[in-house]
């Protein structure tokens, strides 16, 4: 995949926050132009300062896995809440350089618009790749919400302000904890919800990020033997 070099990663914490605010103005939340045929899910795991990034490609509509990719490298940016993308995105972008064929839609284990400065990992990655991205978080980073109904597919708005939705709280499995879905880039909230639910099987976590997590966890376990 091609990666657009929109900024350098040689950056400090103090510079990262204003950069996030600037980049958030560039993220586009628009309906998908066409239904995706190939999707990707990503996840990343750490062992001290070594990061293991994994991706699994799927073919729609049957969610058939068609490829898996791994990249490992050192991270230099510290763990800072709200600045996760400056720690993880450089490694993930190196991973995406290895991925063929190019996916039409990318699921990120993290957040997109649902971020204090409206630029979570999914939005940051989407700007570099210029591809539609969806953030699927297991927990809330910011915003307020009411619990969705208990049935599978039920969802409620995640609100930054009373009249400003930044994501959705989606029940992917009946009577199971919901996940937090938000658009990253080149997709809107409605399509983010729709495609997240289309990519759910019998588990709480959508298959793209669930299988990417399993893949990278197994790789890390083998490396540590």
**94: β partners:** none
**Model confidence at 223: pLDDT above 90:** no
Mean pLDDT of all residues belonging to the chain = 96
Domains and CATH numbers, the chain: 28-137+185-223 (3.30.2170.10)
Mean pLDDT for 146-158 is 96
Here the tokens at position 190 are: 């409605």
Q: Distance between CA atoms of 189 and 176, rounded to whole angstroms?
A: 22
**Model confidence at 162: pLDDT above 90:** no
Closest-CA residue to 77 (of 62, 61, 88): 88
**Model confidence at 37: pLDDT above 90:** yes
pLDDT reported for residue 175:
84
Angle separating helix axes 13-24 and 121-129, nearest 10 degrees: 70
Grade residue 168 by pLDDT with cuts at 50, 70 and 90: very high
Q: Distance between CA atoms of 50 and 180, rounded to whole angstroms?
A: 27
112 close to 185: Cβ distance less than 8 angstroms: yes
Bond prior to 101 in cis (omega within 30° of 0): yes
pLDDT reported for residue 161:
86
CA 183-184-189 angle, to 5 degrees, is 10
- Strand runs labelled E in 14-90: 38-47, 50-59, 64-74
Mean pLDDT for 127-150 is 97
191 close to 133: Cβ distance less than 8 angstroms: no
**Model confidence at 207: pLDDT above 90:** yes
Grade residue 32 by pLDDT with cuts at 50, 70 and 90: very high
Positive or negative: CA dihedral 183, 186, 191, 192: negative
Grade residue 225 by pLDDT with cuts at 50, 70 and 90: confident
**Model confidence at 42: pLDDT above 90:** yes
Q: What would the pLDDT profile of 47-106 be if each residue is shown by its tens digit? A: 999 999 999 999 999 999 999 999 999 999 999 999 999 999 999 999 999 999 999 999
Grade residue 169 by pLDDT with cuts at 50, 70 and 90: very high
pTM score, whole prediction: 0.96
Positive or negative: CA dihedral 65, 71, 77, 78: positive
Q: Looking at residue 102, what DSSP letter applies?
A: P
Instruction: Label residue 81 exposed, middle or buried (CB < 10 Å: 0-12, 13-18, 19+).
Output: exposed
Share of the chain above pLDDT 70, in %: 100
Q: Distance between CA atoms of 105 and 59, rounded to whole angstroms?
A: 11
Q: What would the pLDDT profile of 172-198 be if each residue is shown by its tens digit? A: 999 899 999 999 999 999 999 999 999
């Amino acid at each position: 995949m091609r990666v657009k070099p929109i900024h350098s990663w040689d950056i400090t914490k103090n510079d990262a926050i204003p950069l996030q605010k600037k980049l958030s103005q560039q993220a586009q939340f628009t309906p998908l132009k066409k239904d995706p045929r190939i999707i990707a899910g990503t996840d990343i795991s750490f062992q001290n300062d070594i990061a293991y990034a994994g991706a699994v490609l799927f073919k729609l509509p049957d969610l058939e896995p068609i490829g898996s990719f791994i990249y490992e490298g050192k991270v230099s940016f510290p763990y800072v809440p709200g600045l996760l993308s400056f720690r993880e995105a450089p490694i993930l972008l190196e991973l995406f350089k290895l991925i063929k064929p190019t996916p039409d839609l990318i699921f990120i284990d993290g957040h997109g618009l649902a971020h204090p400065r409206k630029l979570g990992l999914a939005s940051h990655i989407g700007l570099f790749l210029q591809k539609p991205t969806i953030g699927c978080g297991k927990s809330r980073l910011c915003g307020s919400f009411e619990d969705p109904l208990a049935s599978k597919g039920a969802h409620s708005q995640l609100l930054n302000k009373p009249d400003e939705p930044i994501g959705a709280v989606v029940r992917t499995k009946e009577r199971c904890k919901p996940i937090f879905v938000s658009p990253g880039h080149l997709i809107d909230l409605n399509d983010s919800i729709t495609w997240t639910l289309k990519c759910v099987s019998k588990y709480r976590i959508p298959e793209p990020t669930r299988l990417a997590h399993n893949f990278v966890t197994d790789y890390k376990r083998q490396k540590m033997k």
